[in-house]
Amino acid sequence: MSAHPASPNTVLANALTYAEDVLPPRIRSQTPERVVFTVGTQINGTPHIGTSLVQALTFAVAARVHVRFGLPVSVAFGALDNAPHEVVTDPVSGHRYQRAYAQAIGEEEIRRQVDVLYGPLFKALSALTGVSYGIETYSEQQRGESFRCTWLRVLPRVDAARWWLAPPTASRTSGCPAWRPDAAGRRSTPSAPACTWKAPTAR
């Protein structure tokens, strides 16, 4: 009898037949009434082919999930008008200040660009797949009650949240070291946040 080498399949991509195969466990455990696929893009000029490909795949996966599970589906397009337009460094403090596209060209122009640059593709994808979609800019989202309530809940825990809200960099000059060398001279993360920030009390 000859022995054949065997190796367990530990690569997720090789264990899937279709992209939506990752969803059944969650759908069965949570039994949602509908599924919304969110795809976001920075609004800072004409989209390239990679951006359009991701958007097209989102509609395609949504359509397959609808057929496979019989659930209502839709696509939510997040138009990220907070994309950086320009960054200015304060020569005294070294702090960097960012001006977003929404601030530079205005929300009305952002909406016009979304309609012109993304509208035709979304309408075509929706017609081909039967999947509805909605568009919301980041400026619109952050004015919503859900966004504001979430932010207020984060404020008292900002010391813990800042590591993923705004990861520090090695060149930071605010007195809060982002990295420190270990015994071998390699970078290592601090065991605790180096800076503290006291949340304002409500009045």
pLDDT surpassing 90 at residue 166: no
Radius of gyration of the chain (CA): 23
CA 113 to CA 41: how far, in whole Å?
A: 12
User: Sign (positive/negative) of CA torsion 165, 168, 172, 177?
Assistant: positive
At 27-85, the pLDDT tens digits run 989 999 999 999 999 998 889 999 999 999 999 999 999 999 999 999 999 999 999 89
At residue 7 the predicted structure's pLDDT band, cuts being 50, 70 and 90, is: low
Please tell me the predicted confidence (pLDDT) of residue 151: 86
CA-CA distance, 190 to 179, in Å (whole number)? 6
How many Cα atoms are found within 13 Å in the side-chain-facing hemisphere of 1? 1
pTM for the predicted model, two decimal places = 0.68
Interval 8-37 mean pLDDT: 81
Q: Which stretch, 3-7, 9-13, 134-138, 140-144, has highest mean pLDDT?
A: 134-138
User: What does each C-alpha distance from 183 to 7, 132, 176, 178, 186 come to in angstroms?
Assistant: 38, 56, 20, 17, 7
Residue 172 corresponds to which tokens in the numbers above?
A: 């930071």
pLDDT in tens, 87-129: 889 999 999 888 999 999 999 999 999 999 999 999 999 999 9
Residue 165: the pLDDT is 74
Strands 96-100 and 84-89 come out as: antiparallel
